[in-house]
């Protein structure tokens, strides 16, 4: 007789994005010519400032524990970054550095949410939001737009609020859609949440990765005391430093940040010494790397959209930011899990099913990859879905066949 696991362990599902990554890696390791259009990290090389700082630190051979909530040097860099981009000055005890933005968000949920508390967020949403809320004992309240498409209005959010609402969670630009919430939307939600004393979490991990001259609205511009406003960010996406696992949360609520720090101290203890050094250097170093990454991603987005336009019946709203496009493939198969599995098996292209983001019939397709891979991946998808295409397609020395 086996020992039973906890109820929590049985209720929490796998991360769909990590699952598809694992399958794609396994196929590649087996020698299959897989095109990965499901990834969530840019191929952009790490900034020289971060690499040089890590090497210099490593050569001291003093790689030790760091202060639990982050080194003073990295906290100061985070606060400088925050003041520059949000126009609000915070203190060192109002920031916590964590092992990625994901841990910062999870620390917050554990610190703020009691069993039965409701956490509101719009669909489509990042795949981990519902599971993280449940792990913290809360109830995810998913808001779907009333106007059709991927849009959710501020009124849609406000109408979902109940006496049990503890948190509103907004991700802008949004993973998976790449859509930016409007100035009016952000102003309305910020002012409402502060008036009603509801925590408002801004997951701003992509806030500089925007295109076509657009800007992400600044939530701090509409907050007064901002004690309910939590800004989550990190170096993973903006600087291509996913491997450092450094994110942070900033809030004028000292009590909240203190609680998050205690939770972190009792779980992961602290962050990696080399990672914190590299992250601080990136924040203080040459910022043209962010603009350069935006330029590359915008070009990649345009290539992807041009290729998608060649596939009949696929609908897509032009992403304004991030490095994802959320495309409606429901004409071909309303079951996005089945469609993603079909494309991986038949066309050797990895994408992420939309149901994982709260929107069935969609696929999230990333344009992190190089343009040649984007073009080839979309060519294979078009072949796999086109009933009039030849049954076979040559990929290097491999012949793919569909039913």
Q: What is the pTM of this model?
A: 0.94
Question: Any idea where the domains of the chain sit in the sequence?
Answer: 7-45+288-401, 48-284
Phi-psi region of 377 (alpha: psi -120 to 50; beta: other; left: phi over 0): alpha
- The residue whose two tokens read 């071909």 is 332
| Cα separation of the two ends of the chain | 44
Question: What is the DSSP secondary-structure string of 49-115?
Answer: HHHHHHHHHHHTT------TT--HHHHHHHHHHHHHHH-----GGGEEEESSHHHHHHHHHHHH--T
Helix or strand holding residue 305 (H, E) = helix 288-308
Whether the CB-CB separation of 286 and 47 falls below 8 Å is answered with yes
Nearest of 201, 285, 284, 288 to residue 250 by alpha carbon:
201
Distances (CA, A) of 339 to 48, 79, 198, 200, 263: 40, 44, 39, 35, 40
Can you give the pLDDT at residue 253? 98
Omega prior to 183 cis, within 30 of 0? no
Q: β-strands 352-353, 362-366: how paired?
A: antiparallel
The pair of three-digit structure tokens given for residue 137, joined into one six-digit string: 């004992």
SS3 assignment, position 391: coil
Domains 7-45+288-401 and 48-284 share a fold: no
Q: What is the dihedral of CA 394, 399, 400, 401, to 10 degrees?
A: 110
* Tens place of pLDDT per residue across the chain (403 aa): 678 888 888 888 777 667 777 888 888 888 889 999 988 888 889 999 999 999 999 999 999 999 999 999 999 999 999 999 999 999 999 999 999 999 999 999 999 999 999 999 999 999 999 999 999 999 999 999 877 678 899 999 999 999 999 999 999 999 999 999 999 999 999 999 999 999 999 999 999 999 999 999 999 999 999 999 999 999 999 999 999 999 999 999 999 999 999 999 999 999 999 999 999 999 999 999 999 999 999 999 999 999 999 999 999 999 999 999 999 999 999 999 999 999 998 999 999 999 999 999 999 999 999 999 999 999 999 999 998 888 888 887 888 888 7
pLDDT reported for residue 110? 98
Residues 161 and 391: their CA atoms lie apart, in Å, by 52
- CA 289 and chain centroid, separation: 20
H or E segment and range at residue 263: helix 254-265
Architecture of domain 48-284: 3-Layer(aba) Sandwich (3.40)
Three-class SS state of 400 = strand
Fold assignment, 7-45+288-401: 3.90.1150
Both tokens assigned to 308: 């998608």
Closest CA to 250 of 241, 260, 242: 260
Q: What are phi and psi of 97, to 5 degrees?
A: -95, 135
């Amino acid at each position: 007789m086996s020992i039973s696991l906890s109820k929590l362990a049985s209720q929490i599902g796998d991360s769909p994005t990590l699952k598809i990554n694992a399958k794609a890696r396994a196929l590649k390791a087996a020698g299959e010519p897989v095109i990965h259009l499901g990834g969530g990290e840019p191929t952009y090389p790490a900034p020289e400032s971060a690499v040089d700082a890590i090497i210099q630190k490593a050569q001291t051979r003093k790689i030790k524990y760091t202060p639990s909530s982050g080194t003073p040097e990295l906290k100061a860099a985070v606060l400088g970054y925050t003041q520059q981009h949000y126009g609000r000055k915070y203190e060192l005890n109002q920031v916590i550095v964590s092992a990625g933005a994901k841990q910062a968000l999870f620390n917050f949920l554990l610190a703020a949410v009691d069993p039965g508390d409701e956490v509101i967020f719009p669909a489509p949403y990042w795949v981990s939001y519902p599971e993280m809320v449940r792990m913290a004992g809360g109830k995810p309240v998913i808001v779907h737009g009333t106007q059709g498409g991927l849009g959710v209005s501020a009124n849609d959010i406000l109408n979902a609020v109940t006496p049990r609402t503890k948190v509103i969670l907004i991700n802008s630009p949004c993973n998976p859609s790449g859509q930016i919430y409007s100035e009016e939307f952000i102003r309305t939600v910020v002012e409402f949440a502060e008036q009603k004393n509801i925590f408002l979490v801004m997951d701003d991990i992509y806030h500089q990765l925007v295109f076509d001259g657009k800007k992400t609205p600044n939530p701090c511009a509409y907050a007064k005391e901002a004690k309910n406003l939590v800004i989550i960010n990190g170096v993973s996406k903006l600087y291509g430093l996913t491997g450092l696992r450094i994110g942070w949360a900033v809030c004028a609520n000292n009590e909240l940040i203190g609680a998050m720090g205690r939770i972190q101290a009792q779980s992961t203890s602290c962050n990696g010494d080399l990672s914190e050094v590299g992250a601080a250097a990136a924040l203080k170093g040459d910022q043209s790397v962010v603009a350069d990454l935006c330029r590359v991603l915008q070009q990649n987005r345009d290539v992807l959209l041009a290729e998608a336009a060649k596939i009949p019946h696929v609908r897509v709203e032009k992403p304004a930011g991030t490095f994802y496009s959320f495309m409606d493939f429901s004409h071909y198969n309303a079951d996005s899990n089945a469609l993603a599995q079909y494309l991986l098996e038949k066309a050797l292209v990895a994408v992420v099913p939309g149901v994982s983001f709260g929107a069935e019939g969609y696929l999230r397709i990333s344009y992190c990859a190089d343009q040649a891979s984007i073009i080839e991946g979309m060519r294979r998808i078009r072949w796999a879905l086109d009933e009039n295409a030849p049954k076979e397609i040559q990929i290097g020395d491999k012949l793919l066949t569909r039913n």
